[in-house]
């Protein structure tokens, strides 16, 4: 039985260019979902395509214990970009693997097992990351490991009460994505930093959706002025090729334990990641996300919706009827692709290359749908 994991949409995608996708039938779609933020530089950016093709012609793959120039360059680049002391790099293939690694490193370095995570959180679908994912339908029937305590997201006192000397890690998203696009309230991440300093736990920030310029700065934690002990990044890092990273501080790297992966830092995904980071920097896409995102948020707020929240080009629009129906009508009647974030939230995660004309197109389509 093919496709038994994913429910398939009635649009067969044949190609992509910039902020648009094209179907087999020739229809064009403005992509304001970017496959869950996987195309920050837009679809098939020529610099990324050239880097991938060039690397593929030289070397498709060699295991991570053999140094390659491309992998080493990505190690150095991510080490330089990591916030604070997060200059040690573990490469893997997906966000859930990056979170798994962060939790393993924290548990080994602290000698503790307990993890404190937030209600509404989503951190992945492998067992360790799934244990820190709140939604019961993701967890049911999978014998998920224990030792995770969930607290209300944004409640500093609940966080203080939960984190103790037996806590290995506090795992948080600076803006909850799957949970409805909820930004951390002012001061919340600072409280997380303080309680981790007091107890010796590692502060792990999941920037798998918020990172790489999406919220208006390279990392969302920079906007809060908080430096984590570990930061995870994935999705858009390789412009859609499978690559992710866990960036960790020295004290975690020095006692991280035994961890490995066959496909850690494959040369082709590393080439895609380097080119993607170049585009994000050279085209100043974080600033564009801040500018266009601010404009889009203001325009959306004028629509008959319950709420608009988020930062930069990570926005959630809470609608007055089911989000799935709105998403269907946006796609089929207006050629706009977006995402759900719960039953009533339309989530917008477009390529960071969109401009105000694209924002106007989305606002007009959403106004018609509502």
Q: Is 17 a catalytic residue?
A: no
Task: List every span in the chain annotated with CATH 3.90.1150.10.
Answer: 13-45+284-369
Q: Is the pLDDT of residue 135 over 90?
A: yes
Q: Residue 322's pLDDT is what? A: 86
For residue range 281-318, list pLDDT tens digits in order. Answer: 999 999 999 999 999 999 999 999 999 999 999 999 99
∠ Cα 153 157 160 (to 5°): 95
Tokens 């795992």 locate to 171
Q: Give the chain's mean pLDDT.
A: 96
What is the mean predicted confidence (pLDDT) over 80-109? 98
d(CA 232, CA 216): 18
State the pLDDT at residue 8: 73
Structure-model confidence comparison of residues 351 and 4, the more confident one: 351
Average pLDDT over residues 231-250: 98
Catalytic member of 32, 105, 114, 206: 206
The dihedral of CA 251, 255, 257, 259: what is its sign? positive
pLDDT of residue 319 exceeding 90: yes
Per-residue pLDDT tens over the stretch 6-17 = 667 888 999 999
Catalytic residue, chosen from 29, 32, 105, 122, is 122
DSSP structural state of residue 33: S
pLDDT of residue 34: 97
Q: What is the pLDDT of residues 142-198, one digit of tens each?
A: 989 999 999 999 999 999 999 999 999 999 999 999 999 999 999 999 999 999 999
- Out of 32, 235, 278, 320, pick the active-site residue: 235
Q: What is the pLDDT of residues 23-68, one digit of tens each?
A: 999 999 999 999 999 999 999 999 999 999 999 999 999 999 999 9
Residue 248's pLDDT is: 98
Is CATH 3.90.1150.10 the classification given to domain 13-45+284-369?
A: yes
Angle, helices 323-334 vs 356-369, to 10°: value is 120
**47-282, CATH topology level:** 3.40.640
Clarify whether 150 is annotated catalytic: no
Where exactly does CATH 3.40.640.10 map onto the chain?
A: 47-282
CB 179, CB 154: distance < 8 Å:
no
Mark whether 122 is an active-site residue.
Answer: yes
pLDDT at 72: 98
Exposure of 296 in the CB half-sphere (CA atoms within 13 A) = 33
- The yes-or-no verdict on residue 18 having pLDDT over 70 is yes
pLDDT-based confidence at residue 22 (cuts at 50, 70, 90)? very high
Residue 356 pLDDT grade (very low, low, confident, very high; cuts 50, 70, 90): very high
Has this prediction a pTM greater than 0.85?
Answer: yes
Q: How confident is the model at residue 1 (pLDDT cuts 50, 70, 90)?
A: very low
How far, in Å, CA of 154 to CA of 119, rounded?
10
Residues 194-233: tens digit of each pLDDT: 999 999 999 999 999 999 999 999 999 999 999 999 999 9
Residues in the chain: 370
Q: Please tell me the distance from the alpha carbon of residue 319 to that of residue 346, in angstroms, as a whole number.
A: 7
Distance CA 135, CA 325 (A): 22
Contact 217, 223 (CB under 8 A): yes
**Rounded distance, CA 174 to CA 197, Å?**
18
């Amino acid at each position: 039985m093919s496709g038994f994991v994913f429910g398939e949409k009635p649009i067969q995608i044949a190609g992509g260019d910039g902020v648009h996708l094209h179907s087999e039938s020739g229809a064009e779609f403005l992509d304001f979902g970017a496959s869950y933020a996987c195309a920050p530089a837009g679809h098939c950016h020529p610099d990324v395509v050239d880097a991938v093709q060039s690397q593929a012609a030289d070397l498709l793959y060699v295991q991570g214990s053999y140094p390659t120039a491309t992998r080493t360059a990505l190690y150095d680049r991510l080490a330089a970009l990591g916030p604070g002391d997060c200059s040690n790099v573990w490469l893997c293939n997906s966000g859930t693997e990056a979170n798994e690694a962060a939790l393993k490193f924290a548990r080994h370095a602290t000698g503790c097992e307990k993890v404190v995570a937030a209600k509404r959180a989503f951190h992945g679908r492998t067992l360790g990351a799934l244990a820190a994912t709140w939604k019961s339908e993701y967890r049911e029937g999978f014998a998920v490991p224990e030792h995770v305590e969930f607290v209300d997201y944004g409640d500093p006192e609940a966080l203080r009460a939960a984190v103790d000397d037996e806590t290995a890690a506090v795992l948080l998203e600076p803006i909850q994505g799957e949970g409805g696009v909820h930004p951390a309230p002012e001061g919340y991440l600072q409280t997380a930093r303080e309680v981790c300093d007091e107890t010796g736990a590692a502060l792990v920030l999941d920037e798998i959706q918020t990172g790489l310029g999406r919220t208006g700065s390279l990392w969302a934690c920079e906007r809060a002025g908080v430096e984590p002990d570990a930061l995870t990044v994935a999705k858009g890092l390789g412009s859609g090729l499978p690559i992710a990273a866990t960036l960790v501080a020295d004290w975690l790297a020095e006692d991280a334990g035994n961890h490995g992966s066959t496909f850690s830092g494959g040369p082709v995904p590393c080439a895609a990641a380097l080119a993607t980071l170049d585009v994000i920097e050279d085209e100043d896409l974080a600033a564009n996300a801040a500018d266009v995102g601010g404009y889009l948020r203001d325009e959306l707020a004028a629509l008959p919706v319950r709420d608009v929240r988020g930062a930069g080009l990570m926005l959630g629009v809470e609608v007055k009827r089911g989000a799935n129906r709105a998403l269907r009508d946006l796609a089929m009647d207006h050629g706009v692709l977006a995402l759900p974030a719960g039953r009533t939230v339309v989530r917008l995660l477009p390529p960071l290359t969109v401009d105000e004309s694209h924002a106007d197109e989305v606002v007009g389509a959403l106004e018609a749908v509502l």
